[in-house]
Structure 1
Amino acid sequence: MANLRATTIQGQIKEISEELANAAAHLTEVTKAVSIFGSARIKPDSEYYSKTIQISKKLVEAGFSIISGGGPGIMEAANRGCYEAGGTSVGLNIKLPFETSNNPYQSHSIDFKYFMPRKTTFFMNSWAYIILPGGFGTLDELFEALTLIQTGKANKAPIVFVGKAFWQDLILFFEKNLLGHGYISPKDLNLYSLTDCPDEVVRIVTEGYLKNQEAEHCLGLC
């Protein structure tokens, strides 16, 4: 039994490594990418769906590529806005109960069996993270981004919540409970922004990208 389990684990490690290598090979020429997270269950008639299309198109106009989870809902809107604007539209696809098919608005489509290499691919290739309303999956991606940036394990990048009415209670929880009990530092509240305005999203992302480029340039001169 122990040998069988070890063989299974080794097989999974091999598959995960192959998925990471495949994703890296596909994305070598994808630059200035922004990841957009949100629920697969949001319908096309939702205000958040149409707002995501706006945000995606404006980011493409500002010179950015778009990465989403490749499914329906917010992910579809993110890829759709990018695709319709002629940008590089990346879908990191994984089959789930509420994501039975990939959306058709992908110029780069990558399939994953495992969550770990999929999430790693997001965080290795993104210069900003846009968080639309979503469920456990969206929260998982949100807290992964916050933790990696807070601890310096990922590029310093803007995290932008879109949807004040949806997210304001969570942000109050951060301020009252997490900061209030000393579980995070005051500076950690600067890791994210909250807005309902697509133009504001683009401004935050662009300014964050330029600051990172300036910081990398300074490091290169040292």
Structure 2
Amino acid sequence: MVSQSREYRKGPVTLRGRKVPTSTTDQRLLDNAGPNDWVHTDPWRVLRIQAEFVEGFGTLSELGPAVSVFGSARTGPGHPTYELAEVVGRLLVEAGYAVITGGGPGTMEAANKGASQAGGTSVGLGIELPFEAGLNEHVNLGINFRYFFARKTMFVKYAQGFIVLPGGFGTLDELFEAITLVQTGKVTRFPIVLMGTDFWAPLLDWLRATLLEHGTIAGADLDLVHLTDDPAEAVAFVRRARA
């Protein structure tokens, strides 16, 4: 029996109990199994996708200077990374930035909490997922997206930089997309900070020993990220890079 207490966000719509779907909008868009009714439905999907971009642009266009903060949804209160993210959120607000996160729990919640308690704008860009519901309580400006690609555009378009704390696949996805956008010149003067030397140093070592050694990246590409454990240094790096 489906629990009536479970809450599921589908764009701006909230569903509970038996109304909770078994698949996400992104999944249905990308899944090529089943009948070829996509020929008739995909043109209508374009309008929904367009609406998500319009909603995002309209909501965030007057946000002002902002920094996107990424990290694991699984890092709870009391964890050193959670506490670090709170400090990052607070320092960003004190430096004049709004804080943008994915709006979920863990590190995202911590950064939103630090920003909100510092009296700043705490933005959450949520996503329709089968195992996460809604925005954390510290978001004071939130948008729920159906499509990852629309949401990811907002993370970059309205941010002056990324601060990336330890995280999983989603964090790595955002990190490497940002690096690629800078490397290819799609965005300019876009600082990327990695926080947590113990966590990130092995990845950077692998990039040097494998990708650089095989000639698949240039040495200068490794300079696109700044590694630190100090939240004040992270915020200062973002400010200097944008000066």
TM-score, normalised with respect to structure 1: 0.91
Aligned letter for 2:181? Answer: L
Work out whether 1:81 is the aligned partner of 2:114: yes
Conserved 8 A contact 1:91-1:109: yes
Conserved 8 A contact 1:41-1:98: no
Aligned equivalent of 2:8: none
Which residue of 74, 89, 101 corresponds with 1:56?
89
Which residue of 168, 191, 214 corresponds with 2:224?
191
Conserved 8 A contact 2:189-2:242: no
Give the superposition deviation at 1:97. 4.0
Alpha-carbon separation, structure 2, partners of 1:36 and 1:99: 18
Give the superposition deviation at 1:142. 0.7
- The answer for unaligned runs of 5 or more in structure 1 is 211-222
Residue deviations 1:180-214 (CA, integer Å, cap 9, x gap)? 1111111111100111101111110110111xxxx
Residue deviations 1:136-167 (CA, integer Å, cap 9, x gap)? 11111111101111111123311111111111
Alpha-carbon separation, structure 1, partners of 2:121 and 2:203: 32
Give the superposition deviation at 1:88. 1.1
Larger proportion of helix: 1
Residue deviations 1:116-144 (CA, integer Å, cap 9, x gap)? 10001111111110111111111111111
Aligned equivalent of 2:155: 122
Conserved 8 A contact 1:36-1:75: yes
- The answer for unaligned runs of 5 or more in structure 2 is 1-34
Aligned letter for 1:111? Answer: N
Which residue of 167, 178, 184 corresponds with 1:145?
178
Aligned letter for 2:71? Answer: G
Which residue of 169, 181, 198 corresponds with 2:214?
181
Aligned equivalent of 2:136: 103
Aligned equivalent of 1:93: 126
Work out whether 1:6 is the aligned partner of 2:39: yes
Conserved 8 A contact 1:39-1:134: yes
Alpha-carbon separation, structure 2, partners of 1:8 and 1:143: 32
Aligned equivalent of 1:203: 236
Aligned equivalent of 2:6: none
Question: Sequence identity, in percent?
Answer: 46
SS of the counterpart of 2:143? strand
Give the superposition deviation at 1:8. 2.1
SS of the counterpart of 2:43? helix
Conserved 8 A contact 1:130-1:162: yes
Aligned equivalent of 1:27: 60
Alpha-carbon separation, structure 2, partners of 1:129 and 1:183: 24
Kindly name which structure, 1 or 2, has the bigger radius of gyration based on alpha carbons: 2
SS of the counterpart of 1:58? helix
Alpha-carbon separation, structure 1, partners of 2:183 and 2:128: 30
Aligned equivalent of 2:197: 164
Aligned letter for 1:60? Answer: V
Give the superposition deviation at 1:28. 1.3
Alpha-carbon separation, structure 2, partners of 1:99 and 1:132: 20
Give the superposition deviation at 1:98. 4.2
Conserved 8 A contact 2:163-2:193: yes
Alpha-carbon separation, structure 2, partners of 1:80 and 1:155: 29
